[in-house]
Structure 1
Amino acid sequence: MSDDMTISIDSEKYVLRRDGEGLQVGRRNGDDVAWLDTVDLSLLPEPARQALDRGDTSDGALLTALRGVVQAEVERGG
């Protein structure tokens, strides 16, 4: 994955961007992106990392992993 990817999670649009060994997760707000968190890629399950490599934003493993990231951000009050 070389460019930003947009993914829909529970009717919300999020943006994914590789950042070295991390994955930045942001929420689109018009033309801007509010970056929520950067997750170490090694923390994601292998199927989710493979989906990222393929650019498959509909993959169930990726969606489940990102729901967890988003939920953690909500619980932290982000």
Structure 2
Amino acid sequence: MTDDMTIQIDSEEYVLRQDGDGLQVGRRNGADVAWLDTVDLDLLPGPAREALERGDTSDEALMTALRGVTQAEVERGG
């Protein structure tokens, strides 16, 4: 994955960007992106990493992994 990808999770639109060994997860706010977290790619399940490599934002494994990331952000009060 070299470019930003947009993914729809439930009713929210998120932006994904690979940053070295991490995956930046942000929430789109108009034309801007509020970056929420950077997740170590090794922490994602294999199928989710494979979906990222393919650019498949509709993959259920990727969506499930990102729901966990976004839920952790909500619980932290982000």
For the criterion TM > 0.5, the same-fold answer is: yes
Q: Does 1:14 align with 2:17?
A: no
Calculate the aligned-residue CA RMSD, in Å: 0.3
The letter for the 1-side match of 2:13 is K
Structure 1 gaps, min length 5: none
In the TM superposition, structure 1's runs of 4+ consecutive aligned residues that sit over 3 Å from their partners are none
Identity %: 83
Structure 1 CA distance for aligned equivalents of residues 59 and 77 of structure 2: 27
Deviations 1:14-72 (A, max 9, x none): 00000000000000000000000000000000000000000000000000000000000
Q: TM-score, normalised by structure 2?
A: 0.99
Aligned to 2:46: 46
Aligned to 1:3: 3
Structure 1 length as normaliser, TM-score?
0.99
Matches within 5 A, 1:1-78: 1-78=1-78
